[in-house]
Amino acid sequence: MSDFARIGVVGAGAWGTALANAAARAGRTVTLWSRDPAAAAQMTAMRENPRGLPGVALEDAVQPTADLADLADCDALLLVVPAQACGPVAAALGEKVPPGTPLVSCAKGIERGTGAFMSEVIARAAPDLIPAVLSGPSFAADVARGLPTAVTLAAVDTDLARALAAALGSASFRLYHSADVRGVEIGGAAKNVLAIAAGIVAGRRLGASAGAAITARGFAELLRFGAAFGARSETLTGLSGLGDLILTASGPQSRNFALGLALGAGTAADGKLAEGAYTASVLVAMAQTRGVDMPICAAVEAVLAGRLSIEAAIEALMARPQRSETAGP
């Protein structure tokens, strides 16, 4: 197995830039690709990414580029563009890099229109590359600054997951490996929708008790969805599921929480990428196909679509028939 000395990071937003720094700290040589030549030139000149992650210096081993061909000699690639862009970007990569190169999705979402998870998007768009997934509680700003962070890296081939985790790990960035690709990608996608719900509760000033209730009952929805779509429960209760839900449902450093906060408070959203807003409808539609009850996620979807007021959503959730807390009678 390769030692993955050369890592390519595809997408130079906040998370791509943070992961590029993390990989450099792990001793890798890193090529950081931006689709925007001006942004790549600016990063090269300033040794910083002022658009994606202002105030954080790029590590010396990070080389920015806007040429996809510069990724061709990388041993593994991290795909760090928004979930809805992963298909076309993976397809373009498939034409530039050698067959068998691992392509690790670091996006958190589900493809709209197809209901494909990110590993499925990669398998369809770039069938000669090997899909893997990296997810877990990790704010870009924290990782970029070298604050202690732990995430999960999953691939069908456990040896590959272990080797990639070893290659990217450092004193401040700890990776656990897993073979449960589906579980890891479901946690990251679903928690974003639930973080919007938690933000709405905070924005409406419904109280800390309501915040805890929405997070715990939201997690029950994540568990039900995961079980229906083949995730392992230990994965869903681990870093990439419960861990990331705790992080993003806790406060406005999460862009999904911040979107919910603005919705709840009736103020303007900041316009930053909130993946849950794109995932909500496809998540709810997929749940319906398997008879999975997800009332909180459905309420978030209806609020985002403008079909339901926040007042009506709260009233409807509180008025649901009393039931057992668990699946039993």
Ligand X SMILES: O=C(CO)COP(=O)(O)O
**Among candidate residues 26, 17, 256, the one with its CA nearest the CA of residue 142:** 17
Regarding 108 and contact with ligand X (CB under 6 A), the answer is yes
Phi-psi group of 258: left, alpha or beta (phi > 0 → left; psi -120 to 50 → alpha; rest → beta)? alpha
Distance between CA atoms of residues 194 and 260, nearest Å: 9
Regarding 139 and contact with ligand X (CB under 6 A), the answer is yes
Distance between CA atoms of residues 193 and 196, nearest Å: 5
* Residue 63 or 192 having the CB closest to ligand X: 192
Q: What are phi and psi of 79, to 5 degrees?
A: -95, 110
Closest approach of ligand NAI to the CB of residue 255, in Å: 7
DSSP letter, residue 257: H
Residue position matching structure tokens 């679509």? 305
Strands 6-10 and 29-33, by their bridges, are parallel
Token pair belonging to 290: 């398997």
Q: Where are the beta strands (DSSP E) in 21-129?
A: 29-33, 48-49, 53-57, 62-65, 76-79, 102-105
Closest approach of ligand X to the CB of residue 93, in Å: 22
Asked about 191 being catalytic, the answer comes back as yes
Q: Is 256 annotated as a binding residue?
A: yes
Regarding 185 and contact with ligand X (CB under 6 A), the answer is no
Sign, CA dihedral 304-15-7-135, equals: negative
Regarding 275 and contact with ligand NAI (CB under 6 A), the answer is yes
Site map 129..168 versus ligand NAI, x via CB under 6 A:
---------xxx----------------------------
Regarding 58 and contact with ligand NAI (CB under 6 A), the answer is no
Residue position matching structure tokens 């999960």? 152
Using the rule CB under 6 A, which residue among 149, 178, 248, 281 binds ligand X?
Answer: 248
DSSP letter, residue 261: H
Regarding 254 and contact with ligand X (CB under 6 A), the answer is yes
Residue position matching structure tokens 């130079």? 12
Segment 271 to 290, residues that bind ligand X, using CB under 6 A: 275
Regarding 162 and contact with ligand X (CB under 6 A), the answer is no
Q: What are phi and psi of 44, to 5 degrees?
A: -65, -40
* Residue 180 or 244 having the CB closest to ligand X: 244
Q: Which does 256 bind (CB under 5 to 8 A by kind): ligand NAI, ligand X, none?
A: ligand X
Regarding 13 and contact with ligand NAI (CB under 6 A), the answer is yes
Q: Which does 12 bind (CB under 5 to 8 A by kind): ligand NAI, ligand X, none?
A: ligand NAI
Closest approach of ligand X to the CB of residue 193, in Å: 10
Catalytic residue among 28, 162, 182, 191: 191
Distance between CA atoms of residues 200 and 120, nearest Å: 31
- The residues that are catalytic are 191
Annotated binding site for sn-glycerol 3-phosphate: which residue ranges? Answer: 108, 136, 138, 191, 244, 254-256
Residues that bind ligand X (CB under 6 A): 108, 137-139, 192, 195, 244, 247-248, 254-256, 275
Residues that bind ligand NAI (CB under 6 A): 11-16, 35, 52, 80-83, 85, 89, 106-109, 138-140, 273, 275
Annotated binding site for substrate: which residue ranges? Answer: 108, 255-256
